Every structure is written in structure tokens, then in C-alpha cells.
Amino acid sequence: MWRARLLALHLVVVHAGIAPVPVSAQSSTAEPQSAPPAESGRSSPIQVTAGADLVVTSAYVWRGFVPTDRASVQPMLWVKLGDLTVSSWFNVAGEQPNGALTEHDFTVDWSKARGAWTFSGGWIHYVFPGVSTGGVSSEFYGGVAYAGLLNPTVRVFQDVQEGRGTYVNVGIGHTLALPRGVALTPTVTLGYNHQQWTSESGWSDANVTLRLLVPMPQPHVFLAPFVAYSKSLETGLFPRKLYGGVPLTVK
């Protein structure tokens, strides 16, 4: 099933993100700033923020798979209402037999900070316009992150439709301050795939990323170029890939 699906994805050049981590996983910048303290005796209003991301990347790599092994443009629009974020993400690549738009992800994410801990959960709806059969899927996810030594994170994704299966991602990272306000963030993530878009189970991929956060003269504009290496832990399904990109965020 997965090999047929993967062939279709390659034909139309169709996570994570990320994520596409969503987003995430997909966004390459920090979360919007928190609201200012409420006045004494009054309830705090829900803060509403919005923004747009545009990523130009040499390849689209998702959970160890490489559905687009060529340059792609990935725009995203998002709106954040308090702890709830709704985003719309696209993958666009030229010279595709079924059109430049190869994937659209709609994500609803809830994230809540409790001290040094952040708990999150959400839903992702995938649409692959160039796939005639099985071109829609959905998954739910949950995760926890700790703001401390190495900033560890754990996320679990459960696809309940076409790609039925489970993917677990664990990661660590640390931000280093550089001269002129530049910040360097190396991250390492490890993925475990239990029959998600495949009949196999096991450790699937490891990803090492170096990302720079470069200050821009314009307020609310962020530039965060990155280079990453996705190492296959299951060579029968996942290729190895060195790739990079330049995300631009306005919020």
C-alpha cells in the first residue's frame, strides 16, 4: 500500500513538519509574544495575532520520506486566538505533471504553557490534489515540551484515515547567542514509525538541523535560514537527504 502511495506522491511531487509539523513543525520562527498583564480587577482579553510564512527549500522532507526531491515554495497563513492556532500550509513545486500545488495541510493546534512545560494537541487535515485515489487523510497529535536543559520535546501523531498508523518524534535543541543579535539553534530529532503510510514498524529517521535567526531592520519580520540532514534508519523505505532553505516570517 505504502509503496504504491509513495510512487503516487513522487509522481505528483507531494508534513512536517515539521512539520509537516504543523507545523508545525513547519514554522521556523518563535511563537508570537504573549499578551501584556491584565489590569487589576479585570479579566485578561484573548489575544489575537496573525502572520504569514514563506519558505523556499531545496527539497521537501517529511518524517524521513522525500516526497519532493526538488526546490519547493511553502507558504503558510496562520491565526492565533489565545492558546488556539489555525493554519493553512501549501507545498508548491514547478514542472509537475498534475499541477504545481502538490499538497495542502489545514491544522488546528492547541498549546498551553504551565511553568517550564508546554502541552499541545491538535488535528491535521491533508489534501494531495494530484492524487486520484487516497488523496485525503487526517491525523490527531499530542505532545509535550520542556523549556530547560536541551529543551526536550515528544510528539505522537496518529493518522486515522488514508495513512493509518502512528509516528512518534522526540527531539532536543539549544539556542546559542552569536554576535550582532544572530542566534544559532542546532536540533536533533528521532522518529519511530509504526505502520504510518507503510506496513513496517521501527525507528525510521534521524534529522540534524542547524538554523540561524537573523534580525531584520523591519519590525515583525524574521529570517531563519537552515540546513538539515535526514538520515535513514530504514533504508528500504527512507532515503538519506541533505537539504536547506530560507524561511521568511511576517507577524
pLDDT digits (tens, 9 = 90+) for 23-49: 333 433 333 333 334 444 555 688 999
Matching residue, cell 530504514: 234
pLDDT at 19 over 60: no
CA end-to-end span of the chain, whole Å? 41
The pLDDT assigned to 172 comes to 98
Query: Does residue 36 lie in a domain region?
Result: no
Q: Which domain holds residue 174?
A: 2-28+47-250
Query: Which residues does residue 192 pair with via DSSP β-bridges, in sequence order?
Result: 168, 203
Please check whether residue 173 is in contact with residue 151, taking contact to mean a CB–CB distance below 8 angstroms. yes
Q: Cell 503558510 belongs to which residue?
A: 76
**129-139 mean pLDDT:** 88
Regarding predicted confidence, which is higher, 134 or 209? 209
Question: What pLDDT, in 10s, does the model give residues 202-244?
Answer: 999 999 999 999 988 888 888 999 999 999 999 888 999 999 9
Which residues are 55's β-sheet partners? 74, 247
Q: Is the pLDDT of residue 61 over 70?
A: yes
Q: Using alpha carbons, list the distances in angstroms from residue 135 to 12, 38, 64, 125, 193.
A: 11, 46, 20, 11, 21
Determine contact, residues 119/99, Cβ cutoff 8 Å.
no
pLDDT number for residue 8: 35
pLDDT at position 42 = 56
pLDDT score of 168 more than 80: yes
Least confident of 101-105, 107-111, 207-211, 215-219: 215-219
Q: Look at residue 37 and tell me if it is in a domain.
A: no
212, part of any domain: yes
39 is a domain residue: no
Question: Is residue 33 in some structural domain?
Answer: no
- Note if the pTM is more than 0.75: yes
Q: Residue 4 has which C-alpha cell? A: 504504491
125 within domain boundaries: yes
| Domains held by the chain: number | 1
146: in domain: yes
Q: How far is it, in rounded angstroms, from Cα 124 to Cα 151?
A: 24
pLDDT at 97: 66
Q: By C-alpha distance, which of 93, 113, 124 is closest to 21?
A: 124
* Best-predicted range by mean pLDDT (64-73, 153-162, 175-184): 153-162
CATH code for position 126:
2.40.160.40
User: Residue 26 has what pLDDT?
Assistant: 40
Residue 145 in any domain: the answer is yes
Percent of residues in the chain assigned helix, strand, coil, to nearest 5: 5, 55, 40
